[in-house]
Chains A and B, each alone.
Chain A
Amino acid sequence: MRSRLPRIFLADFKMRALRFALRNLWRDLKSGEMSVLLLALTVAVLSLTAVGFFTSRIGQGVRAQAAEVLAADLRIESSSPLPARYFTQGRTLGLATAQVESFPTAIFNGEKSQLAAVHAVTSSYPLRGKLRIADSPFGVARSTDHIPKPGTVWLDARIVAQLELSMGNAVRIGATTLRLTQVLDYRPDQGTGFVNLAPAALLNEADIAATQLIAPGSRVTYSALFAGTPQSVAALHDYLVLNKAAGERLREVEESSRQLNSAIDRASRFLNLANLASVLLAAVAVAMGARRYAARHIETVALMKCMGAAQGLVLSISLIELSVLAIFAVLAGAALGYLGQWGLVWLLHGLIQGALPAPSFAPVVIALVTVLAMLVGFALPPLLQLKNTPPIRVLRKSVDSAPLRYGLSYGLSLAALAAILWALVRDVELVASVFLGVLGVGAVLALAGFGLVRITGRLRGGVGVAWRYGLANVSRRGAGSVVQIVAFGTGLMVLLLLAVVRNDLLADWRRSLPSDVPNNFLINIRPEERQPLNQFLQVHGLGQPAMYPMIRARITAINGVPSEALKITGDVARGYLEREQNLTWAADLMQDNQLMAGRWWTPQDFGKALVSVSSEYQEALHLKLGDRLSFDIAGESLKVEVVSIRKVRWDSFRPNFFMVFPPGLLDGAAGTYMTSVYLTPDKRPALARLVREFPTVSVFDVDAILSQIRAIMDRASLAVQYVFLFTLVAGVIVLLAAVQATRDERRYESAILRTLGASRRTVLQGVAAEFGALGFLSGTLAAVGATSIGWLLAHRLFSLEYRFNPYIWILGLVCGTLLVGLAGTLATRRVVNTPPIVSLRED
């Protein structure tokens, strides 16, 4: 009996709190008091889930496209046949499999012959992407789902041109004869490196035995291809990592293509930026909404306490009320987010190949956690303060509860928010830049707000009555004005930042890949061919592109330590050490390279033993300025000092090199040269002539990957703009919350002023003056903030040139003043229009 009593009391207490909370919530919703809070939470959830749902889908879609480069999700390669258990394991996991055997050999048409890279494939090849074929050399290509039938072969246009073949002709490969049925235009896995220099021949795996070319000692690369669900791919990946033999190389989507990766990376950063902005804005709106909620409920709470309500009951009621609101916001937001995500998919339909996978529901959980963190961090402090409302307020309005320390709670929840966003975005730099940027601007706004409050306090004489009233209000409201300036400023800043990102950064990104970017690389140009090739290019209207010497070399030691003895792990780093690399020399820094450290050489340095390395190389091998690298260049050894580190834009599609030497050091060593040209479709026939006239020059067509990257850019731009819509809404809600923050005071003031004989006009002009001043200040500061964060983002995150845009300042100033002034005045109009007696009585 004794123990049951408190429990009954507790249950009873909870029921009472719940009943009150639900009833309050309904009333508060009806009277519009919670709308800002609800809107802010819903938009935060909407943005988080829509972007979350979408990126989980598009991310997989984009990955699938990136997987094209491997023709699979996972690929393992070896110079000896791969064990059958790999395939068994793959099939057990539900993965699709395919097999490719590649080797170089000569292809004959009568007496004429051409070196080719033969690829024998099984019928499921390629697992990702599609083969493209044409009916004539360099003709219009179409994609196909088939592979050559047994007895037939598809040949690269260069082979067809070299051997002067036409469709239906027979060619000899090894011991067998195959009929040419199609010109091979594109294989998804033809690679973007300069590895497969020989033109390709594709044939059916069934014919491979008949060629009798696979024998001990022949240079065959065996590849096993796997594709399927991410989980199964990951499972097989783990299995292969554990079981693969030393000579077998695992290739994953991530490392498959630098160019594609940097494009995807940038795209997701844009999306995440928009997402981040929405959540931060929503947090500001929640903080403001909760403050207003507390302010609006202070009288009621004082009264309830007066009538016997305990603190716990008061707190429970507001907590339950907010929790119900949060649940509602999460449900509504997630539902809208799901719809919104369909909008994204619809917007981008056709751009994405194949069916998108279903969205995962992880974003809902993340949204829930985020909303909780926002509520606990930004809404709990005012509620705790509300709970402490002294009941004596019913008799004396001036008595406030002891001010709470907001700092700690805000700090903690900002940290929580940062952690959540980081978990979401996994991009320390992005989160840190935006967070610190917004916080920094917030601090500056607060300072400036205090400044304004003080200045307007003195500036009362000499202006009209409306202005005097308006400006006096700014200073009289003091802390309230500062809060408003910070909120207006943050809202405007994020909106301006979006304008910067949307227009400038996206445009810059697209500019970085102009339509005339080189789409064909010419490799293997012998020194004596440079002159005639230049002439050929000029005659055919292909310009006079710069020719870069190409040297193949291998690192033998770093700072005197032989590369075999170096303690460097990781497939990428080992690859850098073990394989021969393409080097070049150049007098000037390549136009799309950015010097990260060190200095570029001057003519006095020409001929000295120096080297400039790319940032990937530097990171993988832990190099620093002053390190000494030893190279083996065609049998001769060379020792050079690292004098600079360059950031290379691999998606610029200009010739780029991991390592660059100064001119005069290796002049004799250059085996070949390379260059790149832009070919419009109508100039493609010139390629056939070029291949005939310069048989040893290899033409490397990157049009396909270029269009892939352009598709990603288009896709990302559209998606980012769409997601920015959510941010825009969040920004508008912050402005709304800021305008609402002082509405109650205003209602009372305007009633008193009008009772004292002020005309509606005067009161409204005063309100307009106040909001105009607030808007002017916050707009200006917002422009400063947006410009600095934009610059930071452009430089540090997107590696783009930031163009200063005076337009943003004008936009900030004018929009700030007009938007805030107008919104504030309009929102207050109703208050001013209410007959004073109604306002006074309601109080």
Chain B
Amino acid sequence: MKDLVLHAQNISKTVASPEGSLTILADVTLSVRAGETLAIVGASGAGKSTLLALLAGLDSPTTGRVSIAGVELSMLSEDGRAAVRGRHVGFVFQSFHLIPSLTAIENVMLPLELANRRDARAAAAQALAQVGLTPRVGHYPKQLSGGEQQRVAIARAFVTHPAVLFADEPTGNLDTTTGQRICDLLFELNRSTGSTLVLVTHDRALAARCGRLFELDAGHAVAPAAHLSG
């Protein structure tokens, strides 16, 4: 149990909708060991993003418990969960989510500054170098291509050396070739930093690169919950 970096126990999510309450995630149990790569797969609307949000503590489950790095999230306040995210978690999103008024390096510096790191600029520059964007550090997001923006986002996600990195459809907004390169980068950084990667995708080929698959269908886990592939 000790090396379980992520653990979800019987979590479900029910939301209110005009037609009454709607269960979008039903009774999911999931554990991720440190250093593992996990792909959450399923059709669009299956509940993948919902599960990711719950695992990352961005939202609270209606029932069940989630812990990150051994910290039980349901015991924490919103600020407490934020602190856990800040310390242990990194994110990469489908729509990049760079702050348009910040340059590439400032975007990467943001999580370091929030963690009050003094060497923010140097660390950010190094992270950008790792994703091959040194010449673009001073550029604003709108001056960058989609692939470049996503590389900035990846640098931002890894710059704090998170224990777990969550990626929600990281290639969803990119063409195949660019998407391929982004994924290569993601896996490479994941390996070199020794972090855990939780990847949400509906792309089977991408999912196949992960150590483990977790499939969702209409909010339910599809058995077998885990299998290995090459």
Question: Does A16 lie within 8 Å of B83, measured CB to CB?
Answer: no
Q: Which residues of B contact A30 (CB under 8 A)?
A: 101
Question: Does B52 lie within 8 Å of A395, measured CB to CB?
Answer: yes
Query: Whole-angstrom distance between the alpha carbons of A312 and B79 in the complex?
Result: 8
Instruction: Please judge, given known A-B contacts A27-B102, A841-B142, whether A394 and B58 are in contact too, CB under 8 Å.
Output: yes
Which of A27, A307, A311 is close to B86, meaning CB atoms less than 8 Å apart?
Answer: A307
**Is B34's beta carbon under 8 Å from chain A?**
no
Residue of A nearest to B144 (CB): A841
Instruction: Please judge, given known A-B contacts A27-B102, A307-B114, A308-B111, whether A299 and B97 are in contact too, CB under 8 Å.
Output: yes
Residue of B nearest to A15 (CB): B116
Interface residues in B155-187 by Cβ distance below 8 A to A read 168
Query: Whole-angstrom distance between the alpha carbons of A299 and B86 in the complex?
Result: 17
10 A-B pairs within 8 Å (CB atoms) are namely A16-B116, A20-B113, A27-B101, A303-B97, A306-B85, A307-B86, A310-B83, A391-B85, A395-B49, A842-B141
Question: Does A308 lie within 8 Å of B97, measured CB to CB?
Answer: no
How does the 8 Å CB contact mask read for A727-768 relative to B, with 1 for contact and 0 for none? 000000000000000000000000000000000000000000
Q: Which residues of A contact B115 (CB under 8 A)?
A: 308
Question: Does B142 lie within 8 Å of A842, measured CB to CB?
Answer: yes
Interface residues in B55-103 by Cβ distance below 8 A to A read 58-59, 78-79, 82-87, 91, 93, 95, 97, 99-102
**Is A305's beta carbon under 8 Å from chain B?**
yes
**Is B123's beta carbon under 8 Å from chain A?**
no
Instruction: Please judge, given known A-B contacts A12-B116, A27-B102, A392-B59, whether A307 and B97 are in contact too, CB under 8 Å.
Output: no
Query: Whole-angstrom distance between the alpha carbons of A310 and B59 in the complex?
Result: 15
Interface size class of A (residues with CB under 8 A): 20 to 34
**Is B53's beta carbon under 8 Å from chain A?**
yes
**Is B110's beta carbon under 8 Å from chain A?**
yes
Question: Does B86 lie within 8 Å of A308, measured CB to CB?
Answer: yes
Task: Count chain B CB atoms within 10 A of each CB in A303, A308, A394 and give the residue with the most.
Answer: A308
Task: Count chain B CB atoms within 10 A of each CB in A304, A310, A390, A395 and give the residue with the most.
Answer: A395
Question: Does B85 lie within 8 Å of A308, measured CB to CB?
Answer: yes
Residue of B nearest to A310 (CB): B79
Q: Which residues of B contact A20 (CB under 8 A)?
A: 113
Which of B93, B99, B101, B102 is close to A395, meaning CB atoms less than 8 Å apart?
Answer: B93
Question: Does B49 lie within 8 Å of A396, measured CB to CB?
Answer: yes
**Is A300's beta carbon under 8 Å from chain B?**
yes
Q: Which residues of A contact B111 (CB under 8 A)?
A: 307-308
Question: For the complex, would chain B's binding face be called helix, strand, loop or mixed by DSSP majority?
Answer: helix
Query: Whole-angstrom distance between the alpha carbons of A322 and B110 in the complex?
Result: 21
Which of A12, A16, A304, A311 is close to B79, meaning CB atoms less than 8 Å apart?
Answer: A311
Instruction: Please judge, given known A-B contacts A392-B58, A394-B93, whether A310 and B82 are in contact too, CB under 8 Å.
Output: yes
Question: Does A391 lie within 8 Å of B58, measured CB to CB?
Answer: yes
**Is A616's beta carbon under 8 Å from chain B?**
no
Query: Whole-angstrom distance between the alpha carbons of A303 and B95 in the complex?
Result: 12
> Distance (Å) between the CB of A155 and the closest chain B CB?
82
Report the tally of A-B residue pairs with Cβ distances under 8 A. 77
Q: Which residues of A contact B79 (CB under 8 A)?
A: 310-312
> Distance (Å) between the CB of A304 and the closest chain B CB?
6
Q: Which residues of A contact B59 (CB under 8 A)?
A: 390-392
Interface residues in B97-156 by Cβ distance below 8 A to A read 97, 99-102, 110-111, 113-116, 141-142, 146
Question: Does B168 lie within 8 Å of A305, measured CB to CB?
Answer: no
**Is A31's beta carbon under 8 Å from chain B?**
yes
Question: Does A309 lie within 8 Å of B82, measured CB to CB?
Answer: yes
Q: Which residues of A contact B91 (CB under 8 A)?
A: 306-307, 394
Question: Does B100 lie within 8 Å of A308, measured CB to CB?
Answer: no
> Distance (Å) between the CB of A297 and the closest chain B CB?
10
Instruction: Please judge, given known A-B contacts A394-B91, A395-B49, A838-B142, whether A306 and B58 are in contact too, CB under 8 Å.
Output: yes
Residue of A nearest to B102 (CB): A27
Query: Whole-angstrom distance between the alpha carbons of A69 and B93 in the complex?
Result: 79
Query: Whole-angstrom distance between the alpha carbons of A609 and B163 in the complex?
Result: 101
> Distance (Å) between the CB of B141 and the closest chain A CB?
8
Question: Does A842 lie within 8 Å of B100, measured CB to CB?
Answer: yes
Instruction: Please judge, given known A-B contacts A391-B58, A838-B142, whether A308 and B101 are in contact too, CB under 8 Å.
Output: no
Q: Which residues of A contact B83 (CB under 8 A)?
A: 308, 310
Query: Whole-angstrom distance between the alpha carbons of A310 and B85 in the complex?
Result: 11
> Distance (Å) between the CB of B119 and the closest chain A CB?
15
How does the 8 Å CB contact mask read for A289-331 relative to B, with 1 for contact and 0 for none? 0000000000110011111111111000000000000000000
Task: Count chain B CB atoms within 10 A of each CB in A12, A16, A30, A838 and give the residue with the most.
Answer: A16
Instruction: Please judge, given known A-B contacts A27-B101, A842-B100, whether A304 and B110 are in contact too, CB under 8 Å.
Output: yes
Besides the contacts A19-B113, A308-B86, A841-B142, what 20 more A-B pairs have beta carbons closer than 8 Å? A12-B116, A16-B116, A27-B102, A28-B101, A299-B97, A299-B99, A300-B99, A304-B110, A309-B114, A310-B82, A313-B114, A391-B59, A392-B53, A392-B58, A394-B58, A394-B93, A395-B53, A395-B93, A841-B146, A843-B95
Q: Which residues of B contact A12 (CB under 8 A)?
A: 116
Query: Whole-angstrom distance between the alpha carbons of A7 and B118 in the complex?
Result: 19
Query: Whole-angstrom distance between the alpha carbons of A396 and B53 in the complex?
Result: 10
Q: Which residues of A contact B116 (CB under 8 A)?
A: 12, 16
Q: Which residues of A contact B142 (CB under 8 A)?
A: 838, 841-842
Q: Which residues of B contact A396 (CB under 8 A)?
A: 49, 53
Which of B82, B85, B87, B101 is close to A31, meaning CB atoms less than 8 Å apart?
Answer: B101
> Distance (Å) between the CB of B191 and the closest chain A CB?
23
Q: Which residues of A contact B58 (CB under 8 A)?
A: 306, 390-392, 394-395
Question: Does B99 lie within 8 Å of A303, measured CB to CB?
Answer: yes
Question: Does B114 lie within 8 Å of A304, measured CB to CB?
Answer: yes
Interface residues in A374-408 by Cβ distance below 8 A to B read 390-392, 394-396
Residue of B nearest to A399 (CB): B59
Q: Which residues of A contact B52 (CB under 8 A)?
A: 395
Task: Count chain A CB atoms within 10 A of each CB in B53, B82, B110, B111 and give the residue with the most.
Answer: B82
> Distance (Å) between the CB of A570 and the closest chain B CB?
62
Query: Whole-angstrom distance between the alpha carbons of A31 and B141 in the complex?
Result: 14
Q: Which residues of A contact B146 (CB under 8 A)?
A: 841
Question: Does B102 lie within 8 Å of A307, measured CB to CB?
Answer: no
Q: Which residues of B contact A308 (CB under 8 A)?
A: 82-87, 111, 114-115
> Distance (Å) between the CB of B148 and the closest chain A CB?
12
Query: Whole-angstrom distance between the alpha carbons of A304 and B95 in the complex?
Result: 16
Query: Whole-angstrom distance between the alpha carbons of A19 and B91 in the complex?
Result: 24
Instruction: Please judge, given known A-B contacts A16-B113, A390-B59, whether A305 and B82 are in contact too, CB under 8 Å.
Output: yes
> Distance (Å) between the CB of A40 and the closest chain B CB?
21
Q: Which residues of B contact A310 (CB under 8 A)?
A: 79, 82-83
Residue of A nearest to B52 (CB): A395
Query: Whole-angstrom distance between the alpha carbons of A303 and B110 in the complex?
Result: 10
Question: Does A311 lie within 8 Å of B85, measured CB to CB?
Answer: no
Interface residues in A638-679 by Cβ distance below 8 A to B read none
Residue of B nearest to A31 (CB): B101
Q: Which residues of A contact B102 (CB under 8 A)?
A: 27
Residue of A nearest to B116 (CB): A16
Q: Which residues of B contact A306 (CB under 8 A)?
A: 58, 85, 91
> Distance (Å) between the CB of A16 and the closest chain B CB?
6
Query: Whole-angstrom distance between the alpha carbons of A370 and B78 in the complex?
Result: 34
Instruction: Please judge, given known A-B contacts A304-B110, A308-B115, whether A394 and B82 are in contact too, CB under 8 Å.
Output: no
Which of A312, A313, A390, A395 is close to B168, meaning CB atoms less than 8 Å apart?
Answer: A395
Q: Which residues of B contact A838 (CB under 8 A)?
A: 142
Q: Which residues of A contact B101 (CB under 8 A)?
A: 27-28, 30-31
Query: Whole-angstrom distance between the alpha carbons of A126 and B60 in the complex?
Result: 83
Q: Which residues of B contact A391 (CB under 8 A)?
A: 58-59, 82, 85
Query: Whole-angstrom distance between the alpha carbons of A843 and B173 in the complex?
Result: 13
> Distance (Å) between the CB of A303 and the closest chain B CB?
6
Q: Which residues of A contact B141 (CB under 8 A)?
A: 842
